[in-house]
């Protein structure tokens, strides 16, 4: 199976080298593509110096566009599957093969989930996760145990949709929309690492904004969009 690992990178000079080195060591059988999203630090320089495979946005467009560029590349080059693999070291390459096996079984979407066998810890963040899970349950009738996991693998049909769609970003509402449109999904238990360097986007205001956006998108706007 031809699988592409899409690594969106925005100002990841501290992480990118280590992430790619681990990836090349643990998943040498798969191709990877770094999508440098207009980084202002040395991310691009490092990629050139190390001879990594990458494309660069001329300006910063955001994570959604970066992942979409990867999907576009995967589509144009005839990949059977593509996975978003974060450039900050949170995702573990050990699980990629397991997820790829699920695609081969015929699932359209495979999610690297933290909560298949394990219980969600009780925190504000997980409360948010539960709310999104509930919203998805209401609209699709399916239970997605880790809707906010960023580790998502898509098959050929999904790649085509994601490459050309407007506003199908790497968020839970996209998965909900695709599932409502008939896509099948499977969840694989994974462990995720904490970020080792750099800053996370998540602060209180962003989280509230995120939750509202997801709720409106999944519960209301979903009915007006094409799945």
Partner 1 sequence: MNGLTIAMISASVITAIFVFLKIKKSQFKIGDTLYWLLFCLFLLVMSIFPKAIFWISNKIGFESPSNFIFVIIIFLLLVKIFLLDARVSKNEEKLTKLSQKYAIDNETKEIEP
Which residues lie near partner 1 (CB under 8 A)? 35, 47-48, 50-59, 61, 65, 68-69, 72-73, 76, 166
Closer by beta carbon to partner 1, 59 or else 124: 59
Structure tokens at 159: 């790649």
Q: How far is the CB of 4 from partner 1 (least distance, A)?
A: 13
Residue 59 DSSP label: S
Closer by beta carbon to partner 1, 73 or else 115: 73
Q: How far is the CB of 101 from partner 1 (least distance, A)?
A: 25
Q: How far is the CB of 11 from partner 1 (least distance, A)?
A: 17
Closer by beta carbon to partner 1, 64 or else 126: 64
The alpha-helical segments, DSSP class H, found in the chain are: 16-26, 43-50, 63-76, 96-104, 124-140, 156-164, 172-180, 204-215
Q: Is 78 left (phi over 0), alpha (psi -120 to 50) or beta?
A: left
Residue pair 11/36 in contact (Cβ under 8 Å)? The answer is no
Q: How far is the CB of 62 from partner 1 (least distance, A)?
A: 9
Q: How far is the CB of 190 from partner 1 (least distance, A)?
A: 26
- With b for 16 or more beta-carbon neighbours within 10 A and e for fewer, the 88-101 pattern comes to bbbbbbebbeebbe
Structure tokens at 140: 């699709």
Could you give the angle at the alpha carbon of 130 between the alpha carbons of 124 and 136, nearest 5°? 145
Closer by beta carbon to partner 1, 196 or else 209: 209
Closer by beta carbon to partner 1, 66 or else 183: 66
């Amino acid at each position: 199976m031809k699988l592409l690992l899409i690594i969106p990178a925005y100002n990841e000079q501290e992480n990118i080298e280590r992430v790619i080195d681990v990836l090349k060591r643990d998943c040498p059988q798969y191709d990877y593509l770094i999508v440098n999203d207009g980084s202002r630090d040395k991310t691009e320089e490092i990629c050139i110096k190390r001879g990594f495979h990458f494309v660069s946005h001329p300006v910063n467009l955001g994570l959604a566009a970066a992942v979409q560029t990867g999907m576009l590349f995967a589509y144009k080059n005839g990949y059977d599957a593509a996975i978003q693999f974060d450039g900050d070291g949170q995702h573990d390459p050990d699980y990629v093969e397991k997820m790829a096996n699920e695609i081969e079984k015929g699932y359209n979407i495979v999610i690297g989930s933290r909560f298949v066998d394990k219980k969600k810890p009780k925190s504000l963040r997980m409360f948010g996760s539960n709310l999104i899970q509930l919203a998805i349950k209401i609209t699709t009738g399916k239970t997605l145990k880790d809707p906010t996991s960023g580790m998502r693998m898509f098959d050929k049909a999904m790649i085509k949709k994601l490459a050309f769609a407007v506003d199908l970003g790497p968020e839970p509402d996209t998965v909900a929309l695709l599932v409502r449109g008939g896509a099948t999904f499977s969840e694989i238990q994974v462990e995720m690492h904490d970020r080792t360097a750099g800053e996370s986007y998540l602060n209180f205001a962003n989280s509230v904004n995120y939750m509202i956006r997801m709720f409106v998108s999944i519960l209301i706007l979903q009915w007006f969009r094409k799945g």
